Structure 1
Amino acid sequence: MISIAELDQGYEMVKTKFSKPFVYEATGCLHRPGNDIKALFNYINSNIAEGEDIEVYSCWDGEEDREKEDRLDFFIDIKALQLGKHVKLDKKKSIDEIAGMFYFEERQLVKIRK
């Protein structure tokens, strides 16, 4: 189960990782494929408009000021059914496929487009 809430003031330094003005905190078991990844992507798919994108940055609590690992930057296009550069998703099962293959690495920025 994931939870999404406004960013606590104690974590303001993480805002430097994003190009977007609004930053929220998502918590859950997002460091391995599974139900929390599925819940997050279902939430994203249901709450952003077609053509919009969202950024998700992962880090451990207390490590928000550490440098982002640029080599881990990743892109997921839900509408185009593209996971990264090389994986094409099935239209009817795309969220399930993402949940079965994808997880967030530490200090990774993921851009997701719908």
Structure 2
Amino acid sequence: MTLHHFIAADKELPLGSFRDQTEEGLIDIDKLDQGYEMVKTKFSKPFVYEAIGCLHKPGNGIRALFSYISIYIAEGEDIEVYSCWDGEEDRQKDDRLDFVIHLKTLQLGRHVKLNKKKSIDEIAEMFYFEERQLVKIRK
């Protein structure tokens, strides 16, 4: 089975392949395939895309996604990320896993304060997206 990752925003986002600053991490942002339309119910935002990359474990895929967010999301905006197994897009999200990352205040969840100069690297080293989890990332 494949763990799919979806992102949603209040505005249209650029599509394509994006690398992180190390050129090692890669993320693809694609239009939402019709077969995944039901996943839109998980989001509060109108523009939903599929994020393809290694986001189920800490590492360069996470770094690439957060680099993308830091470039394409303006200060004061947020983006939502939801992950689920292929074929389980209609399953209810697990509200216990809801999570917020504040890039401006350098707060990862409730208990982790990030280093201003290394925040994306720190996130890439310790964070990953879980099945049926909704993560709100605020810039």
Q: TM class, shorter-chain normalised?
A: over 0.9
Compute the TM-score of the two structures, normalised by the length of structure 1: 0.98
How far apart, in 2, do the equivalents of 1:4 and 1:61 lie?
A: 17
Shift >6 Å, 4+ stretches: none
Letter in 2 for 1:86: H
Superposition CA RMSD, Å: 0.6
The residue number in structure 2 matching 1:19 is 44
Higher relative contact order (CA 8 A, sep 6+): 1
In the alignment, residue 17 of structure 1 is paired with which amino acid? K
Count residues with an aligned counterpart: 114
Stretches of structure 2 that go unaligned for 5 or more consecutive residues are 1-25
* More strand by percentage: 2
What SS is found at the alignment partner of 2:47? coil
| CA drift at 1:73 | 0.1
Q: Residue type matched to 2:117 in 1?
A: K
Length-normalised TM-score, structure 2 = 0.80
Larger helix proportion of the pair? 1
Give the superposition deviation at 1:113: 0.3
Give 1:48 shift: 0.3
Unpaired runs of 5+ in structure 1? none
